[in-house]
Chains A and B, each alone.
Chain A
Amino acid sequence: MQDQIRDVLATHGRMAVDPREVDEQADLYELGLTSHASVDVMLALEDAFDIEFPDEVLKKSTFESVHNIAQVIEGLVKAVA
């Protein structure tokens, strides 16, 4: 899952570093992820995992790290299953 998340970040995150090489706990905003880019990341993650981010997870912390994104997606995938 983390590889897919990192691929999405690499394509849509417009970050200053390669997200495939950052620690899973690294602060993505500190590494250049903008609020607007997080919208693209979210939409691309919805496509990649066939999920929809509900309003309650639309918060800064959701997209703060690869770890946080993975946790939220795991929860959404389980909810769909």
Chain B
Amino acid sequence: MITLPGEVDGRRVRVGCDVADVEDVHNSLAAFGDRYLRKVFTTGEINDCQGRNRVHRLAARFAAKEAVIKAFAEPDMSFPWREIEVTRDGPLPLLRLSGTLAESAQRQGWLSSSLSLSHADCHAMAVVLVVCSPAVDEPTFTVNGGDAGAGAR
């Protein structure tokens, strides 16, 4: 049995994903309105999410925030949602971190990221891939049972 390393060419790779229920976002907007928006989304995100698919876009951004939280892989960290922002470069969504989460990303050695969003009628989803600096204090390859050549099972 082998445990495959979470790195590519010596650089650690983190992946996070999440699915958000569009109706949940709709219900939160109905129940809490602007308070919900301001607690979770930045002004830029709120401005980006206008028009016919507003709720779907918000749901995709919420999924992106949760995907980023998973990529950090530190359950005891604080995660102010507004410190995770989805911006755009033309058609491409980009990830912007601020405040304590930007500091945490630096501490973890985050170098670059790629973000993908999607939605259907009922759900929205996000996947984030993060490339980090090479690990200095983590074991990168663990082999149990002396069968490394057989691949993961």
Question: A residues near B, CB below 8 A?
Answer: 12, 14, 34-37, 39-40, 42-43, 55-61
CA–CA, A35 and B78, complex, Å: 13
> Are A43 and B32 within 8 A (Cβ)?
yes
- Closest A residue to B77 using CB positions: A59
For residue B32, which residues in chain A have a CB less than 8 angstroms away from its CB? 40, 43
Number of interface residues of B (CB under 8 A): 26
CA–CA, A14 and B99, complex, Å: 31
Stretch at the interface among B23-31, B109-117, B131-139: B23-31
CA–CA, A61 and B82, complex, Å: 19
For residue B21, which residues in chain A have a CB less than 8 angstroms away from its CB? 34, 36
Within 8 Å of chain A (Cβ to Cβ): is B20? yes
For residue B18, which residues in chain A have a CB less than 8 angstroms away from its CB? 35
Stretch at the interface among B1-9, B33-41, B49-57: B33-41
> Are B20 and A36 within 8 A (Cβ)?
yes
CA–CA, A55 and B78, complex, Å: 7
Within 8 Å of chain A (Cβ to Cβ): is B85? no
> Are B77 and A43 within 8 A (Cβ)?
no
